[in-house]
Every structure is written in C-alpha cells, then in structure tokens.
Structure 1
C-alpha cells in the first residue's frame, strides 16, 4: 500500500490517518447503510511496535460477523495486508476498522449484490492505556439495560446505542466504566468491556449468546486460564454475586485488563485476584498476531 493512501487529519482527538476502501479520504457517501441503519461491523485493534495485537482474533470475529450479516468481504489476507501496512512504524496506537454493507437506496431491504465499504482510522493511544493499571479502577452500575437479541449477540455490529446511553449516565472522571444488566437483571458486562468474577477457585463470566460482545481479550482469558490451573465457567451472573466475589476485573482490546477496586459501595482488596494470571493476560494481549 503506497504512502499516499493514508491521509493525516485533524487534531489529537481525531484520527491521525484515514483510509476508505484503500484510498486516502475522510468523507463517506451519505447513502451508506452504516450511516442510515447501523448496517455493518467494527473492530478496535491495539497497535504496538508497528504490529496489530491479537490480529487473528479480530480478523476472525470480523469475518464471522460479516457472514452472519450477509456482508461479503474480501479475503482475510487482503484486509490483513492493509492493516499491516497502516500499522508499520506506529509505536503505539489504536486502529478502528469499520465495514458497512455499502451504499443503498431508501428502505431496510439490502441489495442482493452489495458492495461493502471499509473505513480504517488510526488514533493515538491514550497514556492511560499504555500500562497495566494494577491499582485498579472504579466502576458503577448503569440504569440503561442491554438489549437482548440472539441474532446479533456476540458480534461488534454498529448499533451501539445501548452503550451510548449508558455512557451518558456519568461524567465523573474517577469512574472508568459502567456495568450493564439485561432486562431481567443479569449482568452482561461493561459499556465497552467484558466482565470476569473471581471467587477464589474459578473465573466466571456472563455468556454472550443473547447480549454483549464476544471480546477478543475475553476469549484469550478463557484460553489462558487453563495454563494457570484456573477453572472457568461461562454462566449467568447476578449483581448480588459480586458482593461475595474475591475480586472482579474487566477486559478490553485497548485497556487490556482492568482490575476493579470499587463498585458503587463495594470495595475489593488488592490481593483478591490471581495477579500472575492477570499480568500474563495483559502481556499477551499486547502481543502481535
């Protein structure tokens, strides 16, 4: 990919580079179905030392979601080549990949022969995400419930209004994240994270077959646990169960691992979590591949 494909734009709060369908651009057609209906998917990929971290997990989830939505994508290698070219020379950053069904006419019915659109945006990595925050974070419960839809559960589709409304509920900078429940009161996860409960002998995390996102770091955590002799269970979790937990932590592709030290009126002692496991999870999450 040539150097002129990526176009510098904006200030620090804006993406530093933008590519649309492999070309330098910063405008999307107003007829794009992603804009009209949220008809598409996205991935948020950590870039470290010029390489995308945990890329195979992001790639596989994107292509699985595209198949479920009926959005034809080019080969995985084609997108991977573009991502590698964009990441080259970037010491630390965040790459956001958006894939929409492309442009279409008015109405929900999609074209039988869509022409998907790919938008890649590169952002600087905020300093707060460049280190493992062992001191933990403070979180709260959100009033906004997470919608239930088994047809969309697990995938990172573009309809994120549940999280948008939940994130509007607080502006206290000392609160890093909010936990969301489904309409029946079961935990789903954070507005942008997956939740894990540690009871001293087993890691538990909510299922993502009816709501929530199948996070790449969630998948890594479930796989890594066995190497540390930790049992895992994917099962419904009620908020009251967090009161008796030894500890809880959240996972996210950019933050990696967030131990929780306070949740509303609850506090968790710093020695309650399996720290060797968490440190390795954070390290592996920043490994290219």
Structure 2
C-alpha cells in the first residue's frame, strides 16, 4: 500500500476524498502517471501536454503547471526514483450527470517508490496474455487518459499466471491497440509501426518518446496478420520503459535493434539505465 504521507489532496497531505467527488462518482476526470528521478520528471512536458488536451476534450479547467510541479515535488520528496500519479477531477457536485456551472477541479497526487522490474525482462523480453476484453470505440475519448479504465480492469482480471507481464488488447474490430498498461509497437519489413489511436486507446507518453526516437516510424491500423509477421514487438511505458516482447500466445519474437535503440533513447531522456540481466 502507498505511504499515506505521500498522498496529497488539493495541496494538503490527506488520505480521504469527499464522497461527492465526480471523479469517484462518474470517472469525470483525468490522470497522468509519471516517473520522477532525483526530483525531476524527465517526460514532464509531454505529460502536461496530454493533460491539457484531456482538459480541453472533457471541458475541464486547466490546472496550473507550476502548482502541479510543486505538488509532485512535495509528494516525491526524499525518493530517488518514484512513480507519481496526478489525478485531476471535476471536483465535487450534486447528484446527477450535469456539472455545476463553475468547475474548480480537484487535484490528487500520490507518490510511491519504483519497484524495479526483473532486468531479465529488459534483456530477453516479456510474454503477453491475449485478452478477450476489447477496447470499445469512442473517438471523442481516444488518446486521452480519462479516469474510466474498466476495460483495462476487466482485461487484467483474465489471467493470474505471473509469467505474463501484461495482456494484449484489441478493439472491437480486431485491430491491435495496446496492452492493459502500456503502448505497443512492432517492426514490419523493417518499418517501426504503432497502432492508430483515433478510435480508442491512450496516446502513451512512453509511446511518444519511442516515436520521437524513430524518425521512420508510422501509425497504422494493425491487424493480427501484421502482428504475426512482425520481426520485433515491444512495449513502451513512461514508467517501465521500453521492453521487448518475446511471446504472444504461441508466436515468438526476437529482441532486435529497434527496441535496443529505444532503450538507449530512454536513458538519454534522463531515465535510469536498464540493468543487464545476470542470467542467460
């Protein structure tokens, strides 16, 4: 469980929320989960851009970036390597879907120490479970990180085998979108590819770093056949970094030069280097 001393609500140490908070009642809000290293969030600017876009789409007021920075710093103080979640809700309101005429917003910031992944995964790759739960199609919410993550909750409940680090999720038309907790990319005929996200999905900040690091990368509708023919498959996360995928079901993939380049870009961006595995 997170250390309650690192929970902050509206600028104060707190562990409780008003029961009328619209984020709790209706998922009316947004969140960002970021890595903070030695007091600095290397991908801060991109997290703020996605949060601003989410506020625009949901018609929420924009929280001040300086206020957010102060709260993240306070929550992560004393941690050399932390995961910090910023939650921005529509605040409290009366029962019913209609918001109040004036929305002030509520800020919740929680920090916790990073639990480092087994370095064997970064070196030799991870296995993905194939989820039956699908992303529903909703272009108005596509790309932003809103608070309703029930599809991911249901997908994650589909497996208990610890050999699977995450689960592959497709949309209602069998297009590859993401995993439950990370962006996914692949290499087909030498071209790095990322799923198009104009119908559903989250435009991950780790994905943005990956795409910025690969000038020949493209976005496309990716079907099962393309996934099966890929020479590399990898995960991109602003918390876990860049991980090669070694298997999805009975399909196996090699760890290749693209994911190695992305792991180097991760370190160059200011993130902790991935430690080499000590076993073959």
TM-score by length of 1: 0.89
Q: Distance in 2 between matches of 1:56 and 1:283?
A: 17
Structure 1 vs Structure 2 CA RMSD: 1.9
Bigger drift between 85-94 and 57-66 goes to 85-94
* 9, 18, 40: which one aligns with 2:7: 18
Q: Distance in 2 between matches of 1:41 and 1:20?
A: 15
Q: Report if the CA contact (8 A) 2:176-2:221 is conserved.
A: yes
Report matched runs for 1:115-194 at 5 Å. Answer: 115-128=104-117, 133-194=122-183
Q: After TM superposition, give the deviation of residue 205 of structure 1 in Å.
A: 0.7
1:217-238: CA deviations, max 9, x gaps?
1111111112xxxx21101000
* 239, 243, 265: which one aligns with 1:281: 265
Equivalence for 1:49: 38
1:21-58: CA deviations, max 9, x gaps?
00011000000000110000000011112212301111
Count, aligned residues: 272
Task: Find the residue that maps to 2:111 and give its secondary structure.
Answer: strand
Query: Which structure 1 residue ranges, 4+ long, deviate > 6 Å from structure 2?
Result: 129-132
Matched, 1:32 2:16: no
Task: Find the residue that maps to 1:218 and give its secondary structure.
Answer: helix
Q: Distance in 1 between matches of 2:225 and 2:96?
A: 44
Q: Distance in 2 between matches of 1:183 and 1:31?
A: 33
1:129 to 1:103, Cα distance in 2 relative to 1, 3 A: farther
* 93, 97, 102: which one aligns with 1:113: 102
Q: Distance in 2 between matches of 1:38 and 1:14?
A: 24
1:129 to 1:92, Cα distance in 2 relative to 1, 3 A: farther
Bigger drift between 73-82 and 138-147 goes to 73-82
Equivalence for 1:5: none
Equivalence for 2:242: 257
Bigger drift between 192-201 and 108-117 goes to 192-201
Structure 2: which 5+ residue stretches go unaligned?
273-280
Q: Distance in 2 between matches of 1:188 and 1:34?
A: 25
Q: Distance in 1 between matches of 2:66 and 2:249?
A: 45
Structure 1: which 5+ residue stretches go unaligned?
1-10
